[in-house]
Amino acid sequence: MSFSRVPPGPGRPNGFTLIEALVALTILGVALLLGMQLLIQTPRIISRIDAERKAFRALEATLDGVRAGVIALRDPEGNPDQVLTGFFTAAGPVREPEEFHLAVFMHVESADLPGLCHVTLTAQYLVLNVQHEKQLETLVRRPC
């Protein structure tokens, strides 16, 4: 038994066969599922980017404070390691929601050149119960 395709004519109906319609619906379903996955991931991505932006703002504000001499390189006990909170940036205070738990750790050590300090700033924050860390290293011209 052979199936020959008869070209459409004036008396022959035009349209999709059942198999062509099923293939088209399958392709459409896969495309919709991929789009739905992107929509589901969007709030997570936005939350992660927002937390990262706030961490970089806090690092930048801390570095500006260290360079300006507003933030001491050592705590009152002389410890070179400090934990900093309560950040003020050019855009105003960084008010992080409780779920971010943003903290900046500062470690200071003497550099090889006199009059320079090697400062390492590390921001730690949570996004969807996953710990993230961003680090910034610089040299500051101040006595250690």
In a domain, 102, yes or no: yes
Q: What pLDDT, in 10s, does the model give residues 33-88?
A: 988 888 888 888 888 898 888 888 889 888 888 888 888 888 778 777 888 776 66
Pairwise CA distance, residues 102 & 121, whole Å: 13
In a domain, 41, yes or no: yes
In a domain, 4, yes or no: no
In a domain, 13, yes or no: no
Pairwise CA distance, residues 123 & 106, whole Å: 9
Q: What pLDDT, in 10s, does the model give residues 75-129?
A: 778 777 888 776 665 655 655 545 568 888 999 988 888 888 899 999 998 888 8
Question: What pLDDT sits at residue 2?
Answer: 58
In a domain, 108, yes or no: yes
In a domain, 6, yes or no: no
Residue 143 corresponds to which tokens in the numbers above?
Answer: 């006595």
Radius of gyration of the chain (CA): 30
DSSP string for 109-134: EE-SSTT-EEEEEEEEEEETTEEEEE
Full residue range of the structural domain in which residue 70 is found: 18-140
Report which DSSP code applies to 3: -
In a domain, 94, yes or no: yes
Q: How many domains does the chain contain in total? A: 1
Q: Report the relative pairing of strands 117-127 and 81-84 from DSSP bridges.
A: unpaired
Report which DSSP code applies to 90: T
pTM of the model: 0.66
